[in-house]
Structures are given as C-alpha cells and as structure tokens.
Structure 1
Amino acid sequence: MSDADTGAGDNEPETVQINIRLTRSFLEDIDATWKEQGFNSRSEFLRHVARDAVKNPDFSREGWKQIASGEHGLRTGESELISREEIVAMMDQDVNNR
C-alpha cells in the first residue's frame, strides 16, 4: 500500500489496511453475523467489533470463547439455550477466576 492510498480525506483520520487469516468456516460465521445484524459490510462489522473490544477490555477472551462456542452449538443443534441466571453465574465465575 502506498502512502497516498490511505482512504482518508482532508478531515478524516488516516486508515490503514491490514490482513488477517481466518478459517473458511469462521469467515462464513462472520459473514452471516454481519448480515444478520444489519451492517453494510464485513469491514464495517469488523471495525465495530474491534472498537468494542478495545473500549470494553474487561470482557475476557474466555468469555468471548464461551459466547462463540454457544453460538456454534445453537446453530448446529448441539446445544440448547440457557437462562439469564446461568449466564450471569458463568460471567461471575469468569471474573472471580482472574
């Protein structure tokens, strides 16, 4: 990428292109999610997710893994919905284990 290829206008912050590697199945999950949630593009969704992760660092990686695992289980029929109380208990346990 050249220095001139930043996509930033006079009053806009400079943007930088990055590349990441994902499994095809994970990318398919991302694509389904951004479309379901009404984002205009994959890039817009990923910027939103990254911004949220930076602004809310208290949510642990383990918490995200649990959410992703639960979503996968629901989509494949391998698991069932759990109650709000069970979710709160798991999050409290995660906080207490730090």
Structure 2
Amino acid sequence: MSDADTSPGDDGPEMVQINLRLSQAFLDDIDTTWREQGFNSRSEFLRYAARDAVKHPEFSREGWKQVAASEHDLRSGDAELVSRAEVVELMDRDEDGE
C-alpha cells in the first residue's frame, strides 16, 4: 500500500483498511495489471476496480467471465481477431433481425 493510501490529513474521505485473501497467482496477475495500466499502487488499482464494479453493476459477473474467456482464446490462438467494421456489421444485423 502506498503512503498516499494511509496518510492522515488529506481533505478526502477517511480511508479504512480491509483484509482480503487471494491466491498468490491471482495477486501476481493483479500486480502485473496495475503496473501495466499505469496505476501508482495496488491499492489504487483495487479501489478503481471496486468503484467501477459498484458504479456500473449493469456489466455483470457473467459479462466479465465472457471477456476473460475471449481474451484467453485470443492469447492462446483459439480465436480470430475481427475488425471494427466487422463488429459494426454484426451489430447492425442483430438490430435489423437478420
């Protein structure tokens, strides 16, 4: 946790520390992700992820699972990339009922 996460005297809301149990492999993935995404700390990244989940509940857990599965398929070579134009075309077909 960074000093910014725990230092008193900020004008922002009071920060409360929580404990969270994760597998080491998952924690390693989180650490890689927050660094690659340019966050200043693990805590900042986890607060962002939690805030996003609370503010956008319409994107369900099932939706996240589908995203993760698709990303895995792309990385493993089991899926093909499609262009933006192809996605737009598919969406237009679905709206028209074709």
TM-score of the two chains, using structure 2 as the length reference? 0.66
Map of 2:11 onto structure 1 = 11
Map of 1:36 onto structure 2 = 36
CA distance in 2, matches of 1:72, 1:61: 16
CA distance in 1, matches of 2:33, 2:70: 14
Contact residue 7 and residue 14 of structure 1 kept, 8 A: no
- Bigger RCO (CA 8 Å, 6+ sep): 2
How many residues matched?
83
TM-score of the two chains, using structure 1 as the length reference? 0.66
Which of structures 1 and 2 has the bigger CA Rg? 2
CA distance in 2, matches of 1:10, 1:31: 26
CA deviation profile, 1:18-53 (whole Å, cap 9, x unmatched): 111111111111111101100011000000111111
More helix by share: 2
State the identity %.
63
Deviation at 1:69, TM superposition (A): 3.0
Q: Which runs of 5 or more structure 2 residues have no equivalent in the other structure?
A: 1-5
CA distance in 1, matches of 2:23, 2:38: 23
Contact residue 34 and residue 41 of structure 1 kept, 8 A: yes
Map of 1:70 onto structure 2 = 70
Give me the CA root mean square deviation. Answer: 2.7
Amino acid at match of 2:67: I
